Amino acid sequence: MLTRKLTIDPPLLHSDIIPDPEVPMEARSQEEKIAALAEKDPMFKTLVQEHRMLDGKLKEFDRKVYLSPDEEMERKRLQKLKLAKKDMIAQKLSGQ
């Protein structure tokens, strides 16, 4: 008896295969545009990954009850970097 192992590759950039009904259609299409452009442009893919990494680091700070002055400064620095990446992503998506 032959058995085949079914493997499913994870979707690009952690996007969902099945759309979330809670997410508006325009947000889904935006995510689809990002995924399509990331497939074609490795630099854009890196930009999106860096933005998501910064988002993860900021969420770590948000889970803390108290931030030291140094942590607060680092949090502000990361917020600015994340915003700069978001601006670059938006600029690429608009075709400029």
Convert the pLDDT of each residue in 2-11 to its tens digit. Answer: 455 444 444 4
Collapsing DSSP to helix, strand or coil, 82 comes out as helix
Give residue limits of the domains in the chain: 25-93
pLDDT of the residue at 30: 84
Q: What would the pLDDT profile of 31-75 be if each residue is shown by its tens digit?
A: 888 999 999 999 999 999 999 999 999 999 999 999 999 999 999
pLDDT of residue 18: 45
Per-residue burial over 36-70, b = 16 or more CB atoms within 10 Å of its CB, e = otherwise:
ebbeeeeebbebbebbeebeeeeeeeeeeeeeeee
pTM: 0.67
Q: What single-letter amino acid sits at 94?
A: S
Is the distance from CB of 64 to CB of 92 less than 8 angstroms? no
Q: Are 14 and 52 in contact (CB under 8 A)?
A: yes
